A and B are shown apart, each in its own frame.
Chain A
Amino acid sequence: MNRASIHCLQILLLAVGLTAWGLQTSRLYRDGKFAKEHNVLHLKQSPFGRTLSLAMRGPVDVYWHRGEPHEHPPGEEHAHDHSHQPGLAAGEDRELDYLASLLEEDDHQCEHEECEHDHCHHPDDTPVAVKKEFSGVRPYLLDRIETMRTAYNSRTNRTAESPRHKAYIMGEMERKLAVGYELDPSNLAAYGAYFLFKSEALARVEGESGEGLLILDRRRKAHTLAHRTLQYCWSLPAEAPAMITGASAAHDCLQMMAEHPEPDIQLAQRYLQRLEMMLGHYEVIRQAMIENGTWENFPAPRRIEMEKTHSLIRALQRADLDYWNGHLTRTTPDPRPGPGSGS
């Protein structure tokens, strides 16, 4: 076959290929086969997503503290009043501070569990040594890196934030919280922080005129988030963290519904059933794990986090039962615990 014939054949095949590509594209597009969620390396909800979800708390913290390193003075590790936040007066934004405390809770628990850490100084400890003794190359290098990181994050601009800048920070926060949540929706802290943010924080920051509508819209979205989390956790019945997160989400769903003018009672009953079943599942799994010695495989901060949430949700469940069983016909609902308090 001569060269010209080969060229013709190649062009003919190219035309056939393009036609076939077009036809198949049209068919697959029509059947909706192209629709797929954006998920780089399929990390979201994957086993690796669970690890990365925990790691996302760092970047969220940096945004929360407006880039500043979050270090308490010695003896004030438990303070969560955030009076050191630039541009925010102490106690000005309690809900936001609550969210911050939620985000930091793990870090602090971790610090208290592992008291050999250099930065952990309890109030009754001996005064902090100004100069540390040289205890090896590795600790020295780690300290140097930490010092440099602190310098990198240091803030010299003490001017109060403009509302737009604040809104930008909140937007970035939401994006990072969303990533952390999507990586592992069954992660209690990732869900809790994102839920609280959805239901409260951004509405407060951005709400100027028509704040009420904005808050309502936020709460509707928060309800959707809680519902989706509940469904996701329900598909993981053998996992204690998923059960406790699911129970928390069920309570949050009930909470959101209670604020609705005309709540769907049947849906509320289904949430109550799920809440009871998930708490029950959690208790069974925990007992089985304690018996076979695998409960200790959870890091201590996670165990504490799950146990605290379990106690809290159990208590809130009673309030939920009282409310939905006894006060459904009331026109003005009883005072309810704060939104997201179970998260």
Chain B
Amino acid sequence: MDLFRLTISTLMARRMWVVVLLVAIITPIVFPLFTPHETNTTLLEPARAQTAWTCAWLIGILWTLSQAARFGESNSRSGIGSYFRAQGVGSLRQIFAIWSAIMLFLLPVVLVAVATCLLFAMPANPQEASMWVWTNLQFAALFLLTIGPLALLGVGLASRFGTLIGYVVPTGLCLYGLYGVTYLGMTIRLRDDNKVLEWLYAISPQYHLADLTPRLIFKMGHLPWADFTSFLLYFLAITLVLGCSATLLFRTDPLRN
């Protein structure tokens, strides 16, 4: 059995995927009922879209990144990495085998979010509907380009420094890019004399650009294609940096050997 199939089998045996999928399906049905929809039924659709994608983010951060850290550490500490290496499986193949198995379990969550938006929140106007589909597809691409490299970094970091570091660093980076950076941006706009803060802001990963939830809530339409391409290149560059860092950090053997 190769490492990819072994990781999938382990994830299947842990059964957490059942809970995750149920949460991804049920929350967009239940949570919108907490909005004042009785007096304004048009609130339900945007609330469903918001819940579906917020849920995908939470699952990505809480589950995918934690699994990445867990598998990264267990691969090096338990000797599985050494075993596969003895079988001729190099470290690059090992890290990508673990990563792709974990990402495979995130894909259904993304599909559920897109399906929820397309089936239960689709605008009636055909032009808006077409934009809605594209917004969701753009969102899915940017979402995967955010969580994917962070999961890879998690595997790499955890294999060298343990589960805690392997989870906290990518999660911190993700939350910082989603919310911390916008807070920093607000501070800079209030007082524009701090060059250090401006530099920090500029070099920070701007993951909030990958979160297209407001475009869905307010039916703003899809991202202009030129901007989307720019964002894609930006996240691909980050992917390259995080991917190379992760593979350089990745260890197949226990630290003490």
Contact = CB atoms under 8 A, between A and B. Distances in A.
B203 interface: yes
A39 B31 CA distance: 19
B237 A47 contact: no
Interface in B18-50: 31-32, 34-40, 42-44, 46-47, 50
A322 to B, nearest CB: 34
Contact of A24 (B40, B47, B230): B230
Contacts, number: 125
Determine chain B's interface SS by DSSP, over half rule.
helix
A50 B186 CA distance: 24
A92 B239 CA distance: 62
A6 B233 CA distance: 24
B233 A298 contact: no
Contact of A51 (B36, B186, B201): B36
Nearest to B31: A48
A21 B34 contact: no
A14 B186 contact: no
B185 interface: yes
Contacts of A11: 244, 248
A37 B187 CA distance: 11
Contact of B227 (A23, A33, A39, A241): A33
A154 interface: no
Contact of A36 (B44, B54, B182, B234): B182
A18 interface: yes
B160 to A, nearest CB: 15
Given A24-B230, A28-B206, A35-B185, A17 B238 contact: yes
A294 B39 CA distance: 7
Contact of A38 (B43, B50, B182, B209): B182
A45 B46 CA distance: 11
A48 B244 contact: no
Given A14-B240, A35-B185, A51 B34 contact: yes
Given A14-B245, A33-B209, A46-B217, A20 B34 contact: no
A297 interface: yes
B36 A38 contact: no
Given A20-B240, A25-B202, A29-B202, A6 B92 contact: yes
A33 B127 CA distance: 26
A294 B40 CA distance: 9
Interface in B57-111: 90, 92
A40 B43 contact: no
A41 B54 contact: yes
A39 B32 CA distance: 19
A144 interface: no
Interface string A1-42: 000001100110110111011111111110101111111111
A21 B230 contact: no
B35 A50 contact: yes
A51 B244 contact: no
Interface in B200-257: 201-203, 206, 208-209, 211, 213-214, 217-218, 227, 230-231, 233-234, 236-241, 243-245, 247-248
Nearest to B187: A38
A283 interface: no
A239 interface: yes
Contacts of A41: 54
Nearest to A48: B35
A48 B43 CA distance: 9
A159 to B, nearest CB: 35
B183 interface: yes
A24 B179 CA distance: 20
Contact of B244 (A13, A23, A27): A13
B182 A14 contact: no
Nearest to A235: B218
21 contacts: A6-B90, A7-B248, A10-B248, A13-B243, A14-B241, A17-B239, A17-B240, A20-B237, A20-B240, A26-B202, A33-B209, A35-B189, A36-B185, A38-B179, A38-B182, A42-B211, A45-B217, A46-B217, A238-B40, A239-B40, A294-B38
Given A17-B239, A31-B230, 18 more contacts: A6-B92, A7-B248, A11-B244, A13-B240, A14-B240, A17-B244, A21-B240, A21-B241, A25-B202, A25-B203, A26-B202, A28-B206, A34-B181, A45-B217, A47-B43, A47-B50, A48-B35, A298-B39
The 3 closest A-B pairs by CB, nearest first: A17-B240, A20-B237, A14-B244
